Chain A
Amino acid sequence: MAAPFGACPVQIGQYDRVVLGHGSGGRLTHELITQLFVPAFHNPTLAALEDQASIAVEGRGRLAFTTDAFVVSPVFFPGGDIGKLAVCGTVNDLAAGGAIPRHLAASFILEEGLPLANLRRIVESMRRACDEAGVTVVAGDTKVVERGKADGLFITTTGIGWLPEDRRLSIGAARPGDKVVVSGPLGDHGMAILSVRQGLSFDTQLLSDCAPLAGLAQVMLRASPSLRCMRDPTRGGLASVLNELAAASRVGVVVQEPAVPVRPEVRGACEMLGLDPLYVACEGRMVAVAPAPEVPALLAAMGSHPLGQGAAEIGEVVPDFPGKVRVRSSVGGDRMLLMLSGEQLPRIC
């Protein structure tokens, strides 16, 4: 058995920071892999140090396969870090399709000068997120770029999951009369990041919602046998997901704005900066569409899972204005909810 990660007394080489040699493919690279990555992601497939991971294929069904790059700044933020995000982001993309996530490959682009202690902390955080999600990192790669050519580190994760043959979810499957639910308050991740960004920072206890949703997704699938689709609302927030849904299913969507759960922290920050929470990213929330009769059981099941505590019904699918999303306000008027154009910028007026 390898020593438990984090307790390793061995310094990686003589350096406490990433140097270009860590990407040379030589001794330093080897040390980085064998002393940091392999013990952290401890599993026999990775430990074999082959050029490829070979994994067993399970029974009937299909493979789900996705990839995602992570460049978040700052790399440590309230409630998470780039490592946790890199696992959750890919796991959630698999989970949203109804797949059971199994294995990840992880590619690291490290900036020369990155403290190895930071890398260690990030990798350990990835490992914890993998444990929680029930996945293993079975392949990986490391490159080092000169100082100034990256922002600390970038991580790309690629994930494989198993999709049981009997379930097919699709963003194009929503039908008029279906309901839209969310698994909890929106915008925690985006606002937690903003709270520590230079120039716009504010004080808050708010933590990123970053979490692996594989377990919650399975609970949802069991509770709603005819569940149409799931999506995790990351960049572009709820607005992007609902617009994709409306376009793909050729239906309209009506959101009841007062029903959308938003924490007081996110609300306050959005009011102060003039931003709209419907466009703010989440990294641990699921949006789902289900037939109306299955919604009570779905919400009950979600509420019984730790990551679905704030689950709520927020709107419905309608036959009118196909391809478009409308938001009904507290005073009864409504507006079209478009996809975000560019990034949201704070406004003064």
Chain B
Amino acid sequence: MKYLDEYRDGAAARSLIAAIERAATRPWVIMEVCGGQTHTIVRYGLDQVLPKTVELVHGPGCPVCVTPLEMIDRAHAIAARPEVIFCSFGDMLRVPGSQGDLLGLRARGADVRVVYSPLDAVKLAESNPSRQVVFFAIGFETTAPANAMAVFLARKKALRNFSVLVSHVLVPPALTAILASGDNRVQAFLGPGHVCAVMGVSEYEPIAVRHRVPIVISGFEPVDLLDGVLHAVRQLEAGEAKVENAYARAVRPEGNPASRALVESIFEVCDRTWRGIGLIPRSGYRLRDELADLDAAHRFEVEGVQTRESPLCISGQVLRGLKRPADCPAFGRECTPETPLGATMVSSEGACAAYHAYGRHLDAGPAAERP
């Protein structure tokens, strides 16, 4: 497939690894922000082929993982209503609330459906006029235009049986929160390519300057990530701290102005709690007040959501790059993809889930050597 295959080419990857080896004279800690980037790193074993001087730590970039428990419980309460067709992206189905996940709810009779696109949920509302279709609108800035388009279309078509439960999160405030914490180890970021395709790169410049940290906007394929690491290492070695765009085939400096305009007309910035991290000011989107009639949280009164998290889980530290998944005593034991305890295990993009899916928990221990 064009624009994928060439970015997975072994020879190109080896050239970049050699260049990184030459460029890196001392140890550096680089965080890839996006869950999709984490997925590629673990899937292709990029961390195994990079020189020892480069340590990759995994960032908070999985919107499914960080969706607050309170919001998930709210989603479950709405999905359980008999008149509701509850639509969600697939990776949200296994995310546990305080009492089980959406798959379990479906098994108990709720009408929960996986959609590929929020626009499919709008179609579902059109074809099921007697049912209430609720779409769980989660995601980072990347997903915001598609979700905003669904709201825009539902409004334009005057669909009275469509609403959204919004729990959007924003990347720049999360990076600032990571950098501002006293125990931060991150020296450079591989920035979120698809977020920047929508939002542009300008929000990252003040972060790079204020915190003296290189930010290299990167793509999602092995060659993209290695190229991003090379740019980051060169900046670190030269004592620079600027925003570079290593994903220019998809990211324009100004992002996508039409998308930004639509998003602004539908959503407004709000404070948001991140599962595993806590409240980050101005780090989310919610529906604008004038669209409250399309807000599922208003349409379906949900009372007394009581949340409960596992005390064993260290996902907050994993999300901030302070700990690795295997550092957690519950990892691969009490906490697995089937029985996740916290944010980073709940979605396949979470660092713990990615490590688990690719068997990293089996690599280190004595079990690997036993004949």
Contact = CB atoms under 8 A, between A and B. Distances in A.
Direct contact of A and B (CB under 8 A): yes
A349 B348 CA distance: 9
Contacts of B47: 333
Contacts of B9: 330
Contact of A331 (B94, B120, B222, B338): B222
B45 A329 contact: yes
Contacts of B139: 348-349
A10 interface: no
Interface stretch (A90-98, A119-127, A339-347): A339-347
Interface in B328-371: 336-338, 347-349, 356-360, 362-363, 368, 370-371
Contacts of A345: 90-91, 93-94, 114, 348
A264 B143 contact: no
A199 B85 CA distance: 13
B241 interface: no
A348 B165 CA distance: 17
Interface of A: 198-200, 250, 258, 264, 267-268, 271-274, 321-322, 324, 326, 329-338, 341-342, 345-349
Interface residues of B, number: 53
Given A273-B116, A345-B94, A349-B349, A332 B358 contact: no
B359 A332 contact: no
A331 B45 contact: yes
B338 A341 contact: yes
Given A346-B90, A346-B91, A346-B114, A330 B222 contact: yes
Contacts of A267: 1
B14 interface: yes
Contacts of A271: 1, 4
A321 B115 CA distance: 39
Given A322-B371, A348-B139, A348-B143, 20 more contacts: A199-B113, A199-B114, A271-B4, A273-B90, A324-B368, A330-B10, A330-B13, A330-B222, A331-B13, A331-B14, A331-B44, A331-B46, A332-B45, A334-B45, A335-B44, A335-B359, A338-B356, A338-B358, A345-B93, A349-B139
Contacts of B359: 324, 326, 335-338
B220 to A, nearest CB: 10
A330 B115 contact: no
Contacts, number: 122
17 contacts: A200-B116, A273-B90, A274-B91, A322-B371, A324-B359, A330-B9, A331-B222, A332-B45, A333-B47, A334-B48, A338-B357, A342-B337, A345-B91, A347-B89, A348-B89, A348-B91, A349-B36
Nearest to A336: B359
Interface of B: 1, 4, 8-10, 13-14, 34-36, 42-49, 61-64, 89-91, 93-94, 103, 113-116, 120, 139-140, 143, 222, 336-338, 347-349, 356-360, 362-363, 368, 370-371
A330 B64 contact: no
Contact of B10 (A322, A331, A336, A348): A331
Contacts of A200: 114-116
B360 A336 contact: yes
A268 B36 contact: no
A83 B60 CA distance: 47
Given A334-B48, A336-B363, A348-B91, A264 B1 contact: yes
B36 A324 contact: no
A268 B4 CA distance: 11
A267 B46 CA distance: 22
Contact of B14 (A199, A332, A338): A332
A294 to B, nearest CB: 27
A75 B114 CA distance: 20
A268 B370 CA distance: 39
A199 B115 contact: yes
Contacts of B63: 348-349
A324 B359 CA distance: 9
Please provide the 10 A-B residue pairs with the shortest distance between their CB atoms, ordered closest to farther: A333-B45, A336-B359, A345-B90, A335-B358, A346-B90, A331-B13, A347-B91, A329-B44, A333-B48, A348-B89
Given A331-B222, A338-B357, A347 B363 contact: no
A341 B43 contact: no
A347 B116 CA distance: 8
B8 A330 contact: yes
Nearest to B36: A349
Nearest to A322: B371
A334 B360 CA distance: 10
A257 to B, nearest CB: 9
B102 to A, nearest CB: 10
A348 B222 contact: no
A341 B103 CA distance: 14
A113 B44 CA distance: 50
B197 to A, nearest CB: 14
Chain B CB within 10 Å, residue with most, of A267, A326, A345: A345
A233 B357 CA distance: 20
Nearest to A326: B359
A77 B336 CA distance: 34
B348 A347 contact: yes
Nearest to A348: B89
Nearest to A197: B114
A349 B1 contact: no
Contact of A342 (B46, B89, B94): B94
